[in-house]
Structure 1
Amino acid sequence: MLSVKPLMFDFMKATLRKIGNSQGVLIPKPFLTQLGLENEVEMNVEGDAIVLRRPRNSTREGWAEASKLIAKKNEDALVLGDFANEDDAELEW
């Protein structure tokens, strides 16, 4: 967790700058440092504000690589083993 001293002001005016067909705002380094922002942000509109947040990790981030590593190490045996489907004959589809 970051232990950066909070900034001493609540709001700061910034100038919109034209970037192609869009516009951008330069975010001061102390803001970036305080929030731990680097290359990406999550952005949405809440009421009359544009809100930037640190990206949340994807729920399944890294799962594909981890499963490939498990398979490569031959550690992909079923934990519960096989189980019978004895009751399947009684099911009506």
Structure 2
Amino acid sequence: MKVEIIRIGNSRGVRLPKALLEQCGFADSAELLVEKGRLVLVPTAQVRAGWLERFAQSTDGQQAEDLSYLLPDTTNIEWDDAEWHW
């Protein structure tokens, strides 16, 4: 697809059709790379993408309430009981 490079303030830009962006999985941001003299635009990965699925795999399907053993009922940390002086 041939596109026109347009002036945007002191910069230059390219208008990308919405359908093309959706087809390639772009949201609100992208990675812009230079590879072998070419500009390459890549969709950015979603922050924490896949964490929920990986967590579920790591717990063998246990529910969150089944993991309560990971948190102690009490802490034996001195500063939790002592009065703080500023």
| Alignment pair present for 1:16 and 2:5 | yes
Q: Secondary structure at the match of 1:39?
A: coil
**TM-score between both structures, scaled by the size of structure 2:** 0.51
Q: Secondary structure at the match of 2:39?
A: strand
| Alignment pair present for 1:77 and 2:71 | yes
**TM-score between both structures, scaled by the size of structure 1:** 0.48
Q: Secondary structure at the match of 2:22?
A: helix
Aligned partner letter, 1:77: L
| Alignment pair present for 1:41 and 2:35 | no
CA RMSD in angstroms comes to 2.9
Aligned partner letter, 1:27: L
Unaligned runs of 5+ in 1: 1-11, 63-73, 79-93
4+ residue stretches of structure 1 with deviation over 6 A?
A: none
Aligned partner letter, 1:51: V
Q: CA deviation at 1:52?
A: 0.6
Aligned partner letter, 2:71: A
Give the 3 Å change call, closer, same or farther, for CA 27–45 of structure 1 in structure 2.
Answer: same
**RCO comparison, higher one (Cα < 8 Å, 6+):** 1
Aligned partner letter, 1:53: V
